[in-house]
Structure 1
Amino acid sequence: MTEPGSQQQEQGPAAEQAEPAKGQVQVERTVVVTAGGTGTKGRRPAPERAVLQVVLGIAVPLGLGATILAMYVTEALTTYRTTILDPGDFVVHARPLARVLQDFSAAFTIGLLLLCSVALPGAEANRAIIGFAQWKALNWAWLSSGVWFVSSVASLVFIAADTAGQPINTEEFFPLFMFFITELDLGEILLVALLAVFLLVTFLPMVRSSTGAGIMLAVAMMGVLPLAWAGHAAGSDDHGNAVNSLALHLVGVCVWVGGLAAILLLGFRLGTDTGRVLRRYSTLALLSFTAVAYSGIINARLRIGPWENLTTPYGQLIVVKILALGVLGLAGWYQRRRILPRLDENPEDRRALTLFGASEAALMILTIGISVGLAASPPPVPQGSIADVDLRRSLLGYLWPEPLTIPHFLGAWHPDWVVNLFIVAAAIAYIRAVIILRRRGDLWSLPRTAAFLAGCALLIWLTSGGPAVYGKTSFSGHMIQHMGLMMYAPILLVIGAPILLLLRATPARTDGSRGLREWTLWIFTSRYSHFLTRPPVAGLLFIGSLIGFYYSPAFELSLSTHLGHVLMCIHFILTGYLFAWVLIGTDPGPARAPFPFRLIILLATMAFHAFFGLSLLNGTEILAPGWWADLQLTNQEALLADQQRGGAIAWGVGELPTLLLALAVAVAWRKDDQRRALREDRAADRNGDAALRAYNDHLHQLHTGAPPAPPEHP
């Protein structure tokens, strides 16, 4: 990766010789040019760096000791391999080492890209290019992604060898490896993650902007999230919550650990921006801490089972880990209250930066050591499949519900804890933004707030209540969930105008970096938004999703796989939100279509929607037959009747939101006409009704052929 423009070079090593800012102490040193770049004469490490090295040098062995002690307490060290086919000692010992290197390089890469995307300052004079700190972060991220790719390849090979029980230096291994990555779910998932890392290594050297860094961050996440589906959680009881919590845990750890590692690497190069960057990282660390603690509690509850198991060695380690996380959280709170103000006053305070990084890194390493030991230890509750005990429960992840009746449907409940966390967090953020506006003296509509909160409550019920419980056991229950996610909740959320509220409550950044406000503006003003918000495109996505989803293998995949179900819910919510936003949205964004055209698109889309419902109502072919057979539902007449009932729901339920959208478009049209008339009246008062006089003069000229009268001058 080449260095950015000359302006960024002036901010780099050469800038260390520049005059210090006002209020800072100048440190005299001689800069020499060596084969490796600039350096300090004598190359003596600063005392702060020496302290950091000593602390980490002590913490790392202690973390390894904590891992070994945890495995010893849970007797994981005395549990030996019992497989009939042994892949060999090399695979057995190299696999965990490759996984550790893979995890740390992934976290480091994600931490660097995250800081580059949302925390590090850009080039203020020219926002089209990155700043020096961002350039350094991208360089390190590219090197780290290379290590991530190599270790991922090695890990994939070792997992395949371990699964097949075949050493990697035999002729039989290659055909088994190809079968593993093309036919087995585990191999396919790991291959997808590897391809994401390959894209990262390929395109990172081309990144020259915060936008590119953000896109690469999304790609890096695609290299981590599939690992949640590759673990034991995907086949355990309540696999929905297990997989979701593990995915949240992985992301939280990568952001937290990787961000801190990036801070330790770049901290002494940030100069006057040190305090500002650390404060932004502190906010990210707080969110990550919450995600890690929350997901850890969910995973611990699923692994421990009854509370009596807390007295087992595994349960006691869980308690120790919770206490360690609590200490780590208190340390973060202390740093936010004590150390960050010192860095705000003097960004060059190296002692404060060292204390910030060393203390949190040491505590984090010890906590990770306990976590690694727990991950390698057998929990009290078996994590394997329960298909031999209860086939239906193994497929659903929860107990088979009572027969579908209205009381049972309204009273059913199986919470999706991670989804509920995101929804509650969105509601809290909305309320907080409203409070910020009111304290500032700005008004915010109470009906908008009520609509958004009602939409959040409806989403919780749709994803954790009766629609979610019966959505996998009956077609009609699934259709209720679908209609709610696509047609009811999005309308309430759009009425709440969350994007407009976010832009009004969040201050803009001035240092060239991109925060939540800047990324939101980029998303809603990009060329892709201009394309997607065209009414024909939004309408086609809305109605095309129905036909393409139900009359393709996607419907059965959404029932039989957790990933398919998650993608289905996200797609329905987004397409419904986009369609409602195009029609009645008040958030800033691309120019809207004229109101008559919106009504035409609405009526045409709803006509196709009614046609879809009628096609299901009159259909004779059962959709997703494999899933119903797996659930041992073999009564074809009952399945067809339930499917036709779902078609009637799709046809009838769509009438009310259609009417509401049509009324909302008509009201918005009327208000727009009133505002335009008011603007024209005010303009006429200012210029003496010049437009009307010009029109009358034009008519007079056409009638008499006389030239128009000269304008009157005041």
Structure 2
Amino acid sequence: MTQTLRDTLVGFIIAGLTLTAFLVMGGGAYGKAPIGIADPGVLVGWALPFSKVLNDVAAVMVIGFLAAAAFLVPSTDNEVQGLSVQAVRLASRWATVWAVVSVVYFFLLLSGDIFGKPLTDVAWADITGFLGFSEGRAILLQALGAAVIAVATRFTLGIRSVAGMLGVSLATLAPIALTGHSASSGSHDLATTSLYLHVLGVTLWVGGLAALGWVAIRGSKRLEPAVARYSTLALWSFVVVGVSGLVNAAVRLRSLADVFGTSYGLLVVAKVVALVALGAFGVRQRRRIVAAGSGFVRLATTELFVMAAAIGLAVALSRTPTPVGDRVLQTPAEELLGGPLPAAPTVLRLLWGWSGNGVGLAIVALGVALYLRGVVAMRRRGDAWPIGRTISWMVGMVVIAWATFGGLGEYSHVLFSAHMASHMMLSMVAPIFLALGAPMTLALRTLPGPRQPGEVSPRAILLSFLQSRFSRVVTHPVVGPVLFVGSLYGLYFTGIFEALMSNHLGHAVMEVHFLAVGLLFYYVLIGIDPSPHALAPVARFGALLVTVPFHAFFAIAVMSSNTVFALDYWRDIDRPYRTDLLADQYLGGGMAWAMGEIPLVLVMVAILFQWFRSDSREAKRFDRAEDRTEDAALEAYNARLRDLAEHGKRRDPNQ
């Protein structure tokens, strides 16, 4: 038996023992149901949590091996080489396991938790009924994603393609994570988003270490630079796992007394202890490698065993009843909003209110952290970064915060006018400041470059993406304005708006869409960051000039409409204030007009200023060229004028 296989089996045993112990301690273990209550049987009762452990381990291994092949282990070509080829093949095999176990988990969950009957009694109607639940669809989507990865990684060895498969793998984690908490319980957005970030951090952290442990056992000379890059990834993952875990636990714990007074709270404490221990292992590992250049395998193996125990603990925690329980929300408004209806809006509440919007919190937290990390990296190596760009980026983050989880975001789900104001902030105001912050330029200057000649580095991958055919199409001067304006009409004058407003994921989709479309529009117009299409100021000015009337027409159409958008949604909310829906919609249209046109006019002024500066730079460049040639062009021009004056007409220059 090889060391790799032996360590893998030991890891599974540790995870299984930990799972069993904490299931019993937390009350999530299988117990025979009382007479008259549906019982799936002992096989399903115990196989269900163990299949979840195997499912999680398979996902971790897929992501770890793909991350190692794409980013951690150095390469000298556009394709993976040596051990990296084997890493991609191992990722393919683990992806097959991931897909198969996901299907098994689907049937075990259907049998055990949904209908409470043995597997032999499951009927086709039960399967189709489970597919009616978001959780059932999410599991099969994960199985499908894993199957695609298993097949695709059999036929690709390009660094960029492997990096793309890593992105697909991380996205495949999303369906289950985003349906991991009942939509009928409070703080749904915050719970699901923090859970997804938690899962992302864990899989990259544990998977990367597992893959590097395998590389170390194989005796690769490329281990040292791979470990150095992994240390940065591990640090970011540690922070993301810690913060997201605390947020997710806070949603499930009612008070500080629940931390030590409930089984769920004690499991959370155990998980925190495991996280701290893993952080200590990581620090010790890095110090030892820096000091002695060795000792990675022993420390990594110990750390992986602790991680295996943590995975078992996490699965046990997910099956342990929480102190708050899955409290069924009392009214249709609470079900739609994920919490109680806020009080009537006031200026103070709109300015300083709070909403548990996980998507907005994630965007702002990661946006601020990554940008400041880039600025610090620039300063450490002695390069200047304009303070104005940093301030502009932070202002954009503040606008996003207010429009998503601030006071405006809190009322954006309750009032159409507040929703439209939030929409305008995300698509018209925040992107201006973000584009002026030049994030792509900062990323290109601070992302890791090649560690050896020929390596496809993260910086090179980003640059190739910016120069790709996809980017050329998306950043075409026509595409941005069409998406920017067309999505307004397509969203609000169809049934799409009501469909998205009626579920939690729909709110997140709209917020991300508004921000993304606005960023794309201003990315091209403002033109600070590199783009496949370098537009002259006059072209950008023309694109903006064409866009303004269509945006104004949209606002007028909203104000003059006699049809209430998403009427059933507002009726279900049944708010006791601003009950005139058409009046609130009219106000929203007016906000769209005012808050839309003012930023566009400001950008127009900025483009005119850039145009003036461009002409000034061109004039200075021409003057410098003339100084070098002693005004040769001017003398030639004057000579031509004298010739015309003497002969009265233009002569053939060859005569």
Question: Structure 2 length as normaliser, TM-score?
Answer: 0.91
Quick one: which of 187, 190, 196 aligns to 2:136? 187
Question: Percent of aligned positions with the same letter in both sequences?
Answer: 34
The residue aligned with 1:325 is 275
The residue aligned with 1:358 is 301
RMSD: 2.8
Shift of 1:691: 4.3
Asked if 1:521 corresponds to 2:463, the answer is yes
Shift of 1:279: 1.6
Rounded to whole Å, the distance in 2 between the matches of 1:603 and 1:378 is 58
Superposed, 1:423-462 pairs within 5 Å as: 423-462=364-403
Answer yes or no: is the 8 Å Cα contact 1:74–1:313 preserved in 2: yes
The residue aligned with 2:423 is 482
Answer yes or no: is the 8 Å Cα contact 2:139–2:176 preserved in 1: yes
Quick one: which of 321, 342, 356 aligns to 1:378? 321
The residue aligned with 1:502 is 443
Answer yes or no: is the 8 Å Cα contact 2:189–2:357 preserved in 1: yes
Quick one: which of 277, 282, 307 aligns to 2:256? 307
Asked if 1:65 corresponds to 2:7, the answer is no
Shift of 1:187: 2.5
Residue correspondences, number: 647
Alpha-carbon distance change, 680 to 455 in structure 1, aligned in 2, over 3 angstroms: same
The residue aligned with 1:99 is 52
Q: Report the AA paired with residue 159 of structure 1.
A: L
Shift of 1:189: 2.5
Rounded to whole Å, the distance in 2 between the matches of 1:135 and 1:196 is 21
Q: Partner of 2:478: helix, strand, or coil? A: helix
The residue aligned with 2:311 is 368
Answer yes or no: is the 8 Å Cα contact 2:427–2:514 preserved in 1: yes
Superposed, 1:368-407 pairs within 5 Å as: 368-382=311-325, 384-387=326-329, 389-407=330-348
The residue aligned with 1:239 is 188
Answer yes or no: is the 8 Å Cα contact 1:524–1:590 preserved in 2: yes
Alpha-carbon distance change, 508 to 693 in structure 1, aligned in 2, over 3 angstroms: farther
Asked if 1:466 corresponds to 2:407, the answer is yes
Shift of 1:131: 2.0
Alpha-carbon distance change, 167 to 313 in structure 1, aligned in 2, over 3 angstroms: closer
Rounded to whole Å, the distance in 2 between the matches of 1:199 and 1:218 is 13
Alpha-carbon distance change, 81 to 546 in structure 1, aligned in 2, over 3 angstroms: farther
Shift of 1:608: 0.7
Quick one: which of 614, 620, 639 aligns to 1:672? 614
Q: Report the AA paired with residue 494 of structure 1.
A: A
Superposed, 1:119-138 pairs within 5 Å as: 119-122=72-75, 124=76, 127-138=77-88
Rounded to whole Å, the distance in 2 between the matches of 1:180 and 1:419 is 31
Q: Partner of 1:535: helix, strand, or coil? A: coil
The residue aligned with 2:202 is 253
Rounded to whole Å, the distance in 1 between the matches of 2:403 and 2:589 is 19
**Residues 543-552 or 366-375, more deviating:** 366-375
Q: Report the AA paired with residue 651 of structure 2.
A: G
Alpha-carbon distance change, 154 to 231 in structure 1, aligned in 2, over 3 angstroms: same
Superposed, 1:268-667 pairs within 5 Å as: 268-269=217-218, 271-310=220-259, 311-343=261-293, 349=294, 352-382=295-325, 384-387=326-329, 389-416=330-357, 419-511=360-452, 512-633=454-575, 638-667=580-609
Q: Partner of 1:232: helix, strand, or coil? A: coil
Q: Report the AA paired with residue 284 of structure 1.
A: L
Rounded to whole Å, the distance in 2 between the matches of 1:471 and 1:448 is 29
Asked if 1:178 corresponds to 2:137, the answer is no
Where does structure 2 lack aligned partners over 5 or more consecutive residues?
Answer: none
Rounded to whole Å, the distance in 2 between the matches of 1:549 and 1:289 is 39
Answer yes or no: is the 8 Å Cα contact 1:475–1:643 preserved in 2: yes
Where does structure 1 lack aligned partners over 5 or more consecutive residues?
Answer: 1-43, 344-348, 710-714
Q: Partner of 2:580: helix, strand, or coil? A: helix
Rounded to whole Å, the distance in 1 between the matches of 2:267 and 2:484 is 49
Answer yes or no: is the 8 Å Cα contact 1:121–1:134 preserved in 2: no
Q: Partner of 1:271: helix, strand, or coil? A: coil
Q: Partner of 2:324: helix, strand, or coil? A: coil
Answer yes or no: is the 8 Å Cα contact 1:193–1:222 preserved in 2: no
The residue aligned with 2:213 is 264
Alpha-carbon distance change, 341 to 225 in structure 1, aligned in 2, over 3 angstroms: farther
Question: Structure 1 length as normaliser, TM-score?
Answer: 0.84
Rounded to whole Å, the distance in 2 between the matches of 1:487 and 1:78 is 53
Rounded to whole Å, the distance in 2 between the matches of 1:229 and 1:417 is 11
Rounded to whole Å, the distance in 2 between the matches of 1:133 and 1:542 is 46
Q: Report the AA paired with residue 200 of structure 1.
A: I
